[in-house]
A and B are shown apart, each in its own frame.
Chain A
Amino acid sequence: MKPLKVAFCIPTYGSQPPNFWGPLAAQFAEAHKFGVDLVGPLTESSMAADRNRNALVRRALATDAEWTYWQDADNINPAKTLKRLLETAGQQRTMVCGLYYMKKAPYRPVAYRRLADGRYAHIEGWERGEILEIDAAGMNCVLIHRSGFEAIDEQFVVLQRAAGGIVPVHREDIEGDVFDQASAPGDGKVIEGVWQQRVQLPSEPVEVPFFYLEYNRTEDIAFFEMAKRAGQRLFVDTSVECGHLDWRVVSGADYRRAAGGGQA
Chain B
Amino acid sequence: MKALAFGDGAQQHAQHNLWPRAEIETPSWNLYDPPKTANRRYERMLAYFVLQRVANLAVVDILKKWRALLKPGGELHVHVPSAEWFARQILDPQQPSPFALQHLFGLQLNEASFNLSAFTLLRLRQDCEKAGLAVREAKSYAYQIAINGQVYQAEQHHVIGVKA
A residues at B contact (CB < 8 Å): 87-88, 90, 92, 126-131, 237, 239, 262-263
Contacts and interface: CB of A to CB of B under 8 A. Distances in A.
B82 interface: yes
Interface of B: 82, 84, 88, 120-122, 124-125, 134-140, 155, 157, 162
A261 to B, nearest CB: 10
Contacts of A127: 82, 84, 121, 140, 155, 157
A130 B136 contact: no
B136 A128 contact: no
Given A90-B162, A262-B88, A128 B121 contact: yes
Contacts of A131: 135-139
A263 B162 contact: no
Contacts of A126: 140
19 contacts: A87-B135, A87-B136, A88-B135, A90-B134, A90-B162, A127-B82, A128-B84, A128-B120, A128-B122, A129-B121, A129-B122, A129-B125, A130-B139, A130-B140, A131-B137, A131-B138, A239-B125, A239-B138, A262-B88
Contacts of B136: 87-88, 90, 92, 131
A131 B136 CA distance: 8
A239 B157 CA distance: 14
Contacts of B138: 129-131, 237, 239
Contacts of B122: 128-129, 239
A131 B82 CA distance: 16
A168 B143 CA distance: 45
Contacts of A263: 84
Nearest to A80: B129
A257 B134 CA distance: 31
Contacts of B88: 262
